[in-house]
């Protein structure tokens, strides 16, 4: 069957060995530099300074632990997950395509179309390009939405025919 057969030791490729040694060397260098910096930073501490620093650390960690323990017993109960019945959507039994409904009047569509033409003319004109860039920078997805609305309206119009 071969399920429990011992894997053969494959020699590592030279590239993998080189990368591994570089990573290990870099890690050891960083670790050494950090230790040297910490040693030089704390070289001037006296015994009294070390005791004070340790006492502050113990006080800080102890108060944090105490707060967590006390808040676990006295805090307001929190419900992480609410269990509710799942409601069946009204269209769950439908198998056909959903009907498209045009929520855009022809007048609104004409306004959108005029706006699209205006923006296109701004984009083509060298002086209007600054205005176009300003508008599209303030509203990054505006032109995409305009195109989507036009496509949706055209799709609806084609469905009606």
pLDDT value of position 104: 73
Q: Is residue 153 part of a domain?
A: yes
For residues 67 and 111, state if they share a domain.
no
What would the pLDDT profile of 124-146 be if each residue is shown by its tens digit?
Answer: 988 888 888 888 899 888 888 88
Q: Is residue 82 part of a domain?
A: no
Q: Is residue 121 part of a domain?
A: yes
For residues 19 and 69, state if they share a domain.
yes
Cα separation, 114 vs 122, whole angstroms? 12
- Number of structural domains found in the chain: 2
Q: Is residue 97 part of a domain?
A: no
Q: Which residue among 54, 74, 94 closes a domain?
A: 74
Listing DSSP states for 117-142 in one string gives HHHHHHHHSTTHHHHHHHHHHHSTTH
Q: Is residue 10 part of a domain?
A: no
Cα separation, 69 vs 5, whole angstroms? 51
For residues 113 and 70, state if they share a domain.
no
Q: Is residue 87 part of a domain?
A: no
Read off the pTM: 0.37
Domain residues for the domain of 120 are 106-160
Q: Is residue 96 part of a domain?
A: no
Are the C-beta atoms of residues 122 and 129 closer than 8 Å to each other? yes
Q: Please, what sign has the CA dihedral across residues 85, 91, 94, 98?
A: negative
* DSSP secondary structure code for residue 104 in this structure: S
What would the pLDDT profile of 87-138 be if each residue is shown by its tens digit?
Answer: 887 777 666 655 556 577 788 888 889 999 998 898 898 888 888 888 889 9
Q: Which residue among 57, 74, 91 closes a domain?
A: 74
């Amino acid at each position: 069957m071969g399920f429990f057969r011992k894997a053969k030791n494959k020699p590592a490729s030279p590239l993998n060995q080189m990368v591994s040694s570089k990573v290990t060397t870099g890690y050891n260098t960083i670790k050494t530099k950090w230790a040297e910096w910490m040693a030089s930073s704390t070289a001037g501490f006296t015994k009294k300074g070390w005791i004070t620093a340790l006492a502050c650390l113990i006080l800080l960690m102890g108060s944090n632990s105490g707060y967590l323990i006390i808040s676990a017993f006295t805090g307001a109960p929190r419900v992480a997950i609410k269990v509710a019945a799942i409601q069946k959507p009204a269209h769950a039994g439908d198998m056909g395509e959903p009907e498209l409904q045009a929520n855009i009047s022809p007048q609104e569509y004409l306004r959108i179309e005029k706006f699209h033409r205006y923006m296109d003319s701004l984009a083509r004109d060298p002086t209007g390009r600054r205005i176009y860039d300003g508008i599209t920078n303030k509203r990054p997805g505006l032109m995409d939405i305009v195109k989507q609305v036009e496509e949706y309206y055209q799709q609806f119009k084609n469905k009606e025919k």
